[in-house]
Each structure stands twice: as structure tokens, then as C-alpha cells.
């Protein structure tokens, strides 16, 4: 770009530049002096306004306190004291602010100190009146009490109103002086504009140079952008860039081809992209995008269905990163779309397989119980038959050879009863195991009912159910502050009941039992812990604790089937939670339970309320056998 001819006369411009610089410095100095004068007036006016406003806030709070106490004296209703306590809490901060504001002004500082004495007496009077009503009851307040209250309030109001009035007069006078100074300032600005014309000439040259440099920068940026798009187009995922400033959008060819469209089929337009989203997913997708734009997160993830050219719907995972300007505002987002339809289909197949497995487990366990009933019944019939045979043969004992009678007696009274006893115990064991398997299978069919639950109340209920065992072992149970959370109350009770039962059962006699229950909070979860000083779990057994029918090696003296912890883990998984533990043999064990933090029932994912289609869908959840 060719520069103006005048720029070639460098000596002339150097002289002009020196003159303009001198004029600019002089003008700046004069402007600065005028600005200081105006600023001084403004600061004083602002100071007076602040003092007046702060004084009025004190008056308002005092009036609120008086009105609140008077209503309480008449009715005795504690609700009337809410404004009193609110105003009382603010009053001290207003007074401190006023003292800090007026501290450089000696007279004002002394005036505020005098207010404090009267306000303090007035607060004591109101406090005494509140105490008197709480002690003697409400009723028509005495005229002496009302007069005392009114007299002190009138004194306070008069002191504050006089101060506000004085400062109001000062503020008006100062405003007139400030206006005059502003006029002078305007005159200086007008005269200075003549000097600014010369500065603009210098600025014009600077702008020309900047335009040349800017053109070079734009050319380099354009080449860089072309390289960037070339790289993006080589990625298999569909890449996009959405510019929030000018509402423009770039979509790579792969972005469109994964939906079956050609380059020209879809405009590079945000609205065109939104129109491809499934109607059932559109509102949620836009809400997630809005939250990303307005929130602090730099990462964006969204999942929704988009229309394919062949008429089907494809599941898309959209991920992006934010690009922000120097002011912190989001300028654009750059990301990629990934087709996860196959993954979604596999997830659905897995869910169906899980449902089929639960149904199979239920049917298998249920059918196993039928032969057990027969075994139990026929064992009882055999026992009765043996008794009848014994009674029938006894009268003929003398006619039977002694060695034959010995064999008959051995079979009838020892071998056969002993065999029937083993059969009975095996049947009972098998019945217990099938019942436990049924309990586990029903977890998948249970519909969680999410509500706001007080976890402390749940823990207290579990402790009450275990109170006999706790007292019998002389154990101490310590419960710290526990939160409210949105979850299923029955499922939470079953989890805590199993964990507390284990903690009590595995206490040792070597030391006094101690069980501690508490919780911690993270940004996303509540983490509960149940800590005991029992026998502990060997590291070699850590892998089997949550497996069905598996128990630690140091638990053989305690009755159990190894079902409880498997039940707990399965239940927590259905609640989007988790469980783990830390333990040392001879020291104790701490179980941790993680549950998600939810603001309300609407935060619960739909999967948590899905009922698996099965014949036993309506069966109630039974409490699992204890571990």
C-alpha cells in the first residue's frame, strides 16, 4: 500500500510532531488539573451521599426492630420477631460501615459515637421487652413500655434526621459548585479539541501502518485456517466449529457423510444441525449446550439422536472444547461427532441379556424348590414309617434271632435316622441357598422409588433393630452428622442394615467394640463410612468379600452364607452407587458407600426407574441373608 505523499517530508512532520507533542502535554496538564477539581467535588458529593444512605439504612432497621417487637408484644407470636432479628443482624454492619466512612471527619466520628450509646440503650430496651413477653406471656403492652420505646425511637430518629438534613444541604451546595466546575472542564475540552486534530493526523499514519500489518496477519491466519480444516477433514469423526460471535458453523464432510448426506445437502448452519436432532432429544440437547455456554466448564459432552438420510436415527456423541476471549466469554467451540449407534445397540442387547439372566435365575431357583419340598415330605414319611415298623416288630423280638434283631435295630434306630437327618440338613441348606438366589434375582425387578431421605433416620432405625446384639456385645456406636439425599429409602436401609450387622457380628472379645458411622461430601457424591474395630479382613480374602457364597477365612465361627455383601454391592450398583473397604487383621474394617448427590427426584436417570419385563416383576424385594 502506497503511503500519502506528505509522509515523505519527514523534516516537516518531525517539526509538526514536536509542536503537537508540546501542545498535547500542555493540554494534558491543564485537563488533569481540571479533572482533579471535578473529581474532588464528585468525591465529596459521593461521600455525603454514602453517609446519608447509610444513615437511612440505620433508621429503616431501627423502625423494623421497633415494629417487630411491638407486634410480638401484642400477639406473642415468634414469627413477628423475624424482621427484628434480620434488622438486628444487619444493624451492626451498617454502623461499622458508617464509622469507617466518617472516620476521617472528626465531628462526624463524634456524632456517630453519640448515636451508638443511644442505639445500644434502645437495643437493650427492645431485648428486655422481648424477654418480658417470653416470660410473662403476650397481652396488651403497658403504656409505660410503649412510651419508653417511642421516646427512645423519637430521639434516635431526630438525631439521624437532623444529620441527614444537614448533609443534604451540604450536598446541594456541593452539587452547584461541581456543576460550575464541570462547565469550566467543558471549556477546556473544547479548546483542547483543536490540539487533538493534530494528534489525529499522527494517528492516521499509525492506522495506515497498522492496516498493513493487519493485512499480513489476516493472510497468515487464513492460511493457518485452511491447514486446520484440511487436518480436521482427515479425521474419521465428524468435526465442527460453532462460532458464538457471528452464529456461524463449520461442518466437515465427514460430519455430514456419517449421516448419509453429501456436502451440499446440509448448509453450514447451526439451525440446520438442530433440525436433524430427534424431537424427543432436542430440548435436552439445547439445554446441555446452554449450560455449557453459560457455565465455567471447558469441556462439552452431549448424546442425542440425529436423522440419517436413509430415514433411520443414529446415536451421536458430541464432544467439544471451549475457546474463550480475554474477557472470559466463550467465543466458539470446536469438537467432533462420533456415531455410537452400535454401542447403544450393544448396551440394549446387554440390558436384555441381563434381564433374561435374572429371569432364568428366578425360574431356576424357583423350580429347584419343588423337589426340595418332595424330599422334605418323603423324609418325614420315611421317619414315620420307620417308627411304625419298629412298633410292629418289637412284639416279635423274642422270636427273632439276636444277631438279626441287632441288625434290624441298628438300621431302624441309627443308620436310617442318621441318613434322614443328613438329608434334612441338606434340604434346609439347599432351601436357604435357593431363597438367597431368589432374593438376588429380585433386585433387578425392584422399582426404586426416589425421594428425599434423612440418612440419619435410616441409620437410627438400623441401630434400633440391632440394639440387642449391640448391648449384648457391649459395643459403642458413634454416629456423626449425616446428610439428606435423594435415594430409595428401603434400599438404603437394606444396605446400612447389612453393613451394621456385619460390623456387630465380627467384633472381637479382646477389646471393647466401637462402631463409627459418618459421611463426607464431594462435588458429585456422598461417601458414607461404617468403621469398626473388629477382627478385620485378611488381604488375601479381599477379592472374595463381594462374591456370592464366598466368605473370609476368619469367619467360620460366625453363622452366615456369604450373601449379604453381594446383595449390598448389587443394590448399590442399581442405585448408581459403589462400595469398597479398607481393612487390617486385628485392627478393624471400614466400609465406604458412595451414592450420587441429586438436587431432586428429577435428577434421577430414567434407567433407574425402568421396570424389566418379566413374569415376576411385581414380586417384593426381600431382605438378603446376612453375610
pLDDT tens profile 358-391: 666 666 666 666 676 667 777 777 878 887 887 7
**Residue 439 pLDDT grade (very low, low, confident, very high; cuts 50, 70, 90):** low
pLDDT score for 436? 59
> Is residue 449 scored above 60 in pLDDT?
yes
In b/e form, how buried is each residue of 418-434, taking b as 16+ CB within 10 angstroms?
eebeeeeeebeebbebb
The pLDDT assigned to 5 comes to 38
More confident residue, 351 or 620: 351
Query: What grid cell was written down for 372?
Result: 426340595
Backbone torsions φ then ψ of 160, nearest 5 degrees: -70, -40
| Pair 461, 498: CB distance under 8 Å | no
Strands (E) in 190-258, as ranges, are 238-243, 248-251
Residue recorded with cell 443308620? 415
**Is the model's pLDDT at 593 over the cut of 70?**
yes
CA distances from 194 to 27, 197, 199 (A): 10, 6, 9
Supply the pLDDT for residue 305.
93
End-to-end CA distance of the chain: 86
pLDDT at position 612, please?
30
Query: What is the distance of C-alpha 372 from the center of its chain?
Result: 50
pLDDT surpasses 70 at 608 = no
Residue 287 above 70 pLDDT? yes
User: Considering the chain, what is the average pLDDT of its residues?
Assistant: 75
The pLDDT of residue 135 is: 79
Give the tens place of pLDDT for each residue, 129-148. 788 778 777 665 666 666 76
pLDDT of residue 279: 92
Q: What is the dihedral sign for C-alpha 608, 614, 615, 616?
A: negative
Grid cell in block for residue 465:
433393630
Mean pLDDT of 593-598: 91
**pLDDT tens digits for 469-500?**
898 888 999 999 999 999 988 889 989 988 99
Confidence at residue 283, expressed as pLDDT on a 0 to 100 scale: 92
What would the pLDDT profile of 225-279 be if each residue is shown by its tens digit? 676 666 555 555 788 888 888 878 888 888 888 888 888 888 888 888 888 999 9
Prediction pTM value: 0.39
- H or E stretch at 203: helix 143-233
| pLDDT at 65 exceeding the cut of 90 | no
Q: Encode pLDDT of 20-38 as tens digits.
A: 677 667 767 776 776 676 6
Residue 615 has pLDDT above 60, yes or no: no
pLDDT of 168 over the 90 cut: no
Amino acid at each position: 500500500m502506497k503511503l500519502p505523499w506528505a509522509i515523505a517530508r519527514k523534516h516537516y512532520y518531525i517539526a509538526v510532531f514536536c509542536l503537537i507533542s508540546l501542545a498535547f502535554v500542555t493540554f494534558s496538564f491543564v485537563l488533569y488539573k481540571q479533572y482533579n477539581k471535578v473529581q474532588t467535588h464528585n468525591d465529596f458529593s459521593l461521600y455525603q451521599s454514602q453517609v446519608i444512605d447509610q444513615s437511612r439504612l440505620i433508621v429503616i432497621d431501627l423502625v423494623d426492630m421497633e415494629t417487630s417487637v411491638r407486634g410480638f408484644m401484642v400477639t406473642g407470636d415468634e414469627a413477628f420477631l423475624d424482621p427484628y432479628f434480620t434488622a438486628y443482624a444487619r444493624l451492626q454492619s451498617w454502623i461499622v460501615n458508617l464509622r469507617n466512612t466518617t472516620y476521617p471527619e472528626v465531628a462526624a466520628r463524634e456524632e456517630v459515637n453519640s448515636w451508638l450509646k443511644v442505639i445500644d440503650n434502645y437495643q437493650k430496651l427492645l431485648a428486655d421487652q422481648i424477654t418480658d413477653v417470653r416470660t410473662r406471656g403476650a397481652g396488651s403492652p403497658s403504656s409505660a413500655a410503649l412510651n419508653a420505646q417511642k421516646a427512645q425511637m423519637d430521639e434516635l430518629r431526630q438525631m439521624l434526621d437532623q444529620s441527614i438534613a444537614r448533609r443534604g444541604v451540604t450536598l446541594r451546595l456541593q452539587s452547584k459548585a461541581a456543576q460550575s466546575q464541570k462547565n469550566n472542564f467543558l471549556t477546556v475540552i473544547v479548546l483542547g479539541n483543536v490540539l487533538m486534530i493534530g494528534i489525529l493526523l499522527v494517528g492516521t499514519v499509525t492506522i495506515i501502518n497498522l492496516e498493513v500489518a493487519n493485512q499480513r496477519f489476516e493472510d497468515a491466519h487464513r492460511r493457518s485456517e485452511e491447514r486446520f480444516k484440511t487436518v480436521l477433514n482427515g479425521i474419521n469423526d465428524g468435526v465442527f466449529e460453532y462460532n458464538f460471535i457471528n452464529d456461524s458453523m463449520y461442518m466437515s464432510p465427514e460430519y455430514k457423510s456419517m449421516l448419509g448426506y453429501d456436502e451440499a445437502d446440509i448448509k453450514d448452519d447451526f439451525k440446520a444441525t438442530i433440525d436433524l436432532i430427534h424431537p424427543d432429544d432436542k430440548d435436552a440437547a439445547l439445554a446441555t449446550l446452554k449450560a455449557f455456554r453459560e457455565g465455567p466448564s471447558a469441556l462439552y459432552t452431549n448424546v442425542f439422536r440425529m436423522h440419517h438420510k436413509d430415514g433411520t436415527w443414529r446415536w451421536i456423541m458430541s464432544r467439544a472444547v471451549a475457546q474463550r476471549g480475554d474477557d472470559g466469554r466463550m467465543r466458539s467451540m470446536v469438537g467432533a461427532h462420533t456415531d455410537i449407534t452400535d454401542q447403544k445397540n450393544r448396551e440394549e442387547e446387554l440390558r436384555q441379556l441381563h434381564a433374561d439372566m435374572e429371569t432364568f435365575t428366578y425360574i431356576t431357583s424357583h423350580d429347584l424348590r419343588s423337589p426340595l419340598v418332595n424330599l422334605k415330605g418323603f423324609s418325614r414319611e420315611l421317619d414315620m414309617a420307620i417308627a411304625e415298623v419298629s412298633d410292629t416288630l418289637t412284639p416279635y423280638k423274642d422270636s427273632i434271632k439276636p444277631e438279626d434283631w441287632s441288625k434290624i435295630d441298628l438300621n431302624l434306630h441309627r443308620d436310617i435316622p442318621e441318613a434322614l437327618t443328613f438329608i434334612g440338613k441338606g434340604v434346609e441348606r439347599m432351601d436357604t441357598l435357593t431363597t438367597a438366589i431368589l432374593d438376588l434375582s429380585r433386585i433387578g425387578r425392584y422399582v426404586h422409588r426416589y425421594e428425599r431421605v434423612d440418612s440419619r433416620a435410616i441409620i437410627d432405625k438400623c441401630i434400633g433393630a440391632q440394639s440387642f446384639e449391640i448391648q449384648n456385645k457391649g459395643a459403642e456406636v458413634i454416629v456423626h452428622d449425616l446428610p439428606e439425599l435423594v435415594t430409595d429409602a428401603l434400599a438404603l436401609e437394606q444396605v446400612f442394615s447389612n453393613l451394621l450387622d456385619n460390623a456387630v457380628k465380627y467384633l472381637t472379645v479382646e477389646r471393647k467394640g466401637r462402631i463409627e458411622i459418618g459421611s463426607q461430601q464431594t462435588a458429585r457424591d456422598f461417601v458414607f463410612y461404617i468403621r469398626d474395630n473388629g477382627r478385620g479382613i485378611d488381604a488375601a480374602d479381599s477379592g472374595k468379600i463381594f462374591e456370592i457364597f464366598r466368605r473370609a477365612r476368619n469367619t467360620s465361627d460366625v453363622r452366615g452364607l456369604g450373601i449379604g455383601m453381594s446383595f449390598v454391592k448389587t443394590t448399590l450398583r442399581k442405585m448408581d452407587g459403589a462400595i469398597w473397604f479398607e481393612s487390617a487383621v486385628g485392627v478393624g474394617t471400614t466400609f465406604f458407600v458412595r451414592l450420587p448427590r441429586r438436587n431432586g427426584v428429577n435428577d434421577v436417570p430414567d434407567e433407574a426407574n425402568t421396570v424389566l419385563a418379566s413374569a415376576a416383576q411385581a414380586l417384593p424385594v426381600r431382605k438378603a441373608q446376612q453375610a
